[in-house]
Amino acid sequence: MPSSLHRLRLPHATGRLALIALACATLASCGGGDPATPAGPVATAQSLQGRGGNEGPFEIRTLSNRADLVSDGDALLEVQAPPGTLTSGVLKVTVNGRDVTGAFGRSSDDRVIGLVTGLANGDNVVEATVRGGPGARLVVTNAPRSGPVLSGPQITPFYCATPTPRPANGQVPASNGSGLAGQPDANCTIPSEFKLYYRTTAAAGNGPGQCSLGLPDPVWNSNGVTGVIPGAPTPPANPCWKPYDPARPPSDAAMATTDAGVTVPFVVRLERGTMNRGIYDIAVLFDPAKPWSAVAPQKAWNEKVYYSFGVSTGQPRRQARSTINWTGLEEQLRRGYLVVQNSMTDSSRNSNRVMMSETVMMMKEHIIDTYGRVKYTLGTGCSGGSINSNMNASIAPGLLDGVITTCTYPDSETTSMEVGDCTLLVEAYQKLRATPLWAGLPQSVVDAKKAAINGHPDPSGCHAWFNAFGSNGKAGVYVQRVVANAAGLVIPLGAPTNNCELPNSAVYDPARPLETAGLPRCNAWSWAESIWGKAPGGVAANDTRDNEGVQYGLKALLSGAITPEEFVAVNEAVGGSDRDSTPRAARSVADGAALQTAYRAGIVASGRQLAKTPIIDMRGWDDSNINVPPGQVAGVNPIPIHHQWYSFAVRERITREAGDAGNQALWRFASTGLTPPGTMFLDGLDAMDQWLTTLVADRRGKPIEGKVRDARPANTRDFCLIPGDATQTKVFDFAVCDADPFLRPAASPRQVAGGPRAEDVLKCRLKPLDRDDHGGIAFTEGQWTRLQDVFSTGVCDWSKRGIGQQFAESPLTFSAGPGGRALPEAPASRRK
């Protein structure tokens, strides 16, 4: 049974149809490919090709996905049949006994390809026969458009969007506007719609005569908490994108020239629909006077997919449109990319990363079935969007052929460690404010001590984590607590709320645990209950939060930044949290089952899996909103949480597990905050296009990791831009880059406690507390006794792998239950 899957490459062919499935992703396993066996404990190429025991010339293949992972009732199939069988009328293809021969046609390179529709949910028997000759049989397993395919049972309750928002009614929450005219069915599936828009010739901007890149049909979402419905949003007064009427071509339509040199009117077709209960938008250059099918796409499409992932993180139980606007991707559209987003791949709407990756798989299949072959798929995003980009590459390597990220995090599970540590430390500092320990010290001195413990330039980073995401793990009703000033004062703010976006009366309430035990829980682990499983007792989900044995401020103690008494007092005060994220004196302890799942499934981003994907990481400055580099204004960014060390954590993981990080380009800058300066992002898009174009053309029998490195162009070399340098000249010497205080990566609270920069140990192994591990620091007997009380079970032994830490076996399927199992070999057709 294979433990991982690779991209598949079809053999060279001259016709367009011969390339339909080129660069199909890991889970979208196509026929064909090179005969190499990838290095390491992974599947053989033969198993990925889906040939099985049928080595003859007559077989059936799925081209847009593995035959056992098909969704939405259709599948693009190829029948490898003897020449002339189709035109002579001797070939017959049936699905469950239904004749579908008419769906097939012969391509210019003599391949028989057809889009078969009307598949039933579950197993479908496809048979191809030649009168008086051979026959083949393939079982195609279809899942509904609403999902799931492999992520296990979907969470309930979940409330569908409606054509216009509806107010809350008792325990039923307000609905969001879907942007679609049709009503949802019981599974939140809404009929798809197609609209035409054109790009005007006006320049985008806020000046006179300039146009707005805002959506011409704005997202109309309700408040969801109070049930108040705001006024319907209005389109921009002067939108850059306007509805296109083919019968009345406008005079102000711009032209677009693609990266293939095709010049067309800048008209796009927007497809909006639902997939896996998410609402998606697909936009691509389109000529309404010409047909388009999967076997004959229009030439303005460059056959590349640009997948945008949304920012932030959340797990609301209400269907909504994505927060990503296709209208802002005009350069990608102009170049000929098909751009796509889905609210279930928007991190703010879905924090179940397996379901997120599953949704990408389903969207790619839909694109191939509807639009045609895909040369490559590029994933991109900032913050939560970078999490989804990287986690796709780890959970389902090959779904994305390349990744461009800004404000990068490796994954959500290990990023939550810094969120949790900062939340606990801010509360601990609040306790220490009133003690004699810090009461008489100047605030600047106290801030320096906090920064040393946090690993950040100053306390603003942990304050930002506390305010922005410190309550994201709350399982039920809560009152938000925020840091109210620079000194770290914590106060309650606002009315009771919850993270489900449901009425408070409809969710679990920690104040009434028995009475509300059966109501929905609202943290990320409960949202992904199908992945993690339930903890003993059968109510809350297993989760990975743990700080047992973590010696906060250890390196600050050893450096002299804090005193032994401060070290002891902080570790006494920090405590942990329970499953509801309620602070407690005892440290947090993770569930063993969740730890194993996190690593096996690639939910903790795996360096070995990431090594298979080209990555360009554009890393800006966001470590503080107090001390900022030249070009920035202090205080402009209120949530400095995208710390630079995260990019280096990705690099350390890849290097440790793959031997080198030759697949990761790191471009650093500081003066423009998180936004790449000048043409950097477009330069990255050009460079990645060159990288992936070379990669997908490589048909050698070589492991994908080597191909990725061989294909890397010279213009992706690591560099930095020194803040304050008026010329913004690229610097390729990392020693010079690291000497700049605004380019040098800082650390996290867990790294200050002795943990690795890779930040991938969710739960450390423990060893006895030992004076010799504290650099000769002279603790009093009283202080040492107090430390022994805090660490009665031991302290972290960072020289060892974490509890449950192992190589990823992804992709996994959770159809049979939490924890997951490795996918079997892809189904293959058999001779009749």
Mean pLDDT of 542-568: 98
- 723/738 Cα distance (integer angstroms): 12
CB neighbour burial string for 72-89, b if at least 16 within 10 angstroms, e if fewer: bbbbbbbbbbeeebbeee
DSSP output for 113-161: EEEE--PPSEEEEEEEEETTS-EEEEEEEEE-TT--SSS-SPPSS-B--
Neighbouring C-beta atoms of residue 445, cutoff 10 Å: 11
Provide the terminal-to-terminal Cα distance of the chain, rounded to the nearest Å.
25
Topology of the domain covering 17-71+73-143+821-831: Immunoglobulin-like (2.60.40)
Full-model pTM:
0.93
Q: To 10 degrees, the CA torsion angle through 615, 621, 624, 627?
A: 160
pLDDT at 232: 67
As beta bridge partners, residue 112 has 79, 106
**Mean per-residue pLDDT, 181-190:** 98
The pLDDT tens digits for 328-374 are: 999 999 999 999 999 999 999 999 999 999 999 999 999 999 999 99
Measured in degrees and rounded to the nearest 5, phi and psi for residue 430 equal -60, -40
Q: Give yes or no for a cis peptide into 157 (omega within 30° of 0).
A: yes
Query: Per-residue pLDDT tens for 783-828?
Result: 999 999 999 999 999 999 999 999 999 999 999 999 999 999 999 9
pLDDT of 251 higher than 60: yes
Query: Which pLDDT tens digit goes with each residue over 277-320?
Result: 999 999 999 999 999 999 899 999 999 999 999 999 999 999 99
Strands (DSSP E) along 614-751, which ranges? 615-619, 664-668, 719-721, 730-731
In angstroms, what is the C-alpha Rg of the chain? 27
Domain ranges in the chain are 17-71+73-143+821-831, 193-374, 413-502+519-601+766-796, 607-739
Separation CA 603–CA 525 (nearest Å): 12
pLDDT at 38 over 80: no
pLDDT digits (tens, 9 = 90+) for 106-156: 765 667 899 999 999 999 999 999 887 889 999 999 999 999 999 999 999
Residue 12 has pLDDT above 80, yes or no: no
pLDDT of residue 299: 96
Residue 545: its pLDDT value, please?
Answer: 98
Average pLDDT (400-415) is 98
- Which residues are registered as beta bridge partners of 577? 583
Q: Cα(463)–Cα(323) distance, rounded to whole angstroms?
A: 25
pLDDT tens by residue, 509-542: 999 999 999 999 999 999 999 999 999 888 899 9
Looking at residue 638, its pLDDT comes to 85
pLDDT at 222 over 80: no
The whole-number pLDDT of residue 24 equals 36
Helices (H), 434-520: 436-439, 443-454, 460-469
Record the tokens describing residue 65, joined without a space. Answer: 């996905």
CB-based contact 809:2 (threshold 8 Å): no
Asked if residue 85 lies in contact with residue 58, where contact means CB atoms within 8 angstroms, the answer is: no
CB 244 within 8 A of CB 197: yes
Query: Where does the pLDDT of residue 33 fall: very low under 50, low under 70, confident under 90, or very high at 90 and above?
Result: very low
Torsion sign over Cα 760, 763, 766, 771: positive
Residue 739 makes CB contacts below 8 A (sequence gap 6+) with none
* Rounded mean pLDDT, 235-263: 96
Residue 45 has pLDDT above 70, yes or no: no
Q: Tell me the average pLDDT of the chain.
A: 91
Assign 832 a pLDDT band (cuts: 50, 70, 90): confident
pLDDT score of 89: 75
Residue type, 3: S
Confidence of residue 87 (pLDDT cuts 50, 70, 90): low
Residues 637-651: what's their mean pLDDT?
Answer: 95
Which segments of 709-780 are extended strands (E)?
719-721, 730-731, 766-767
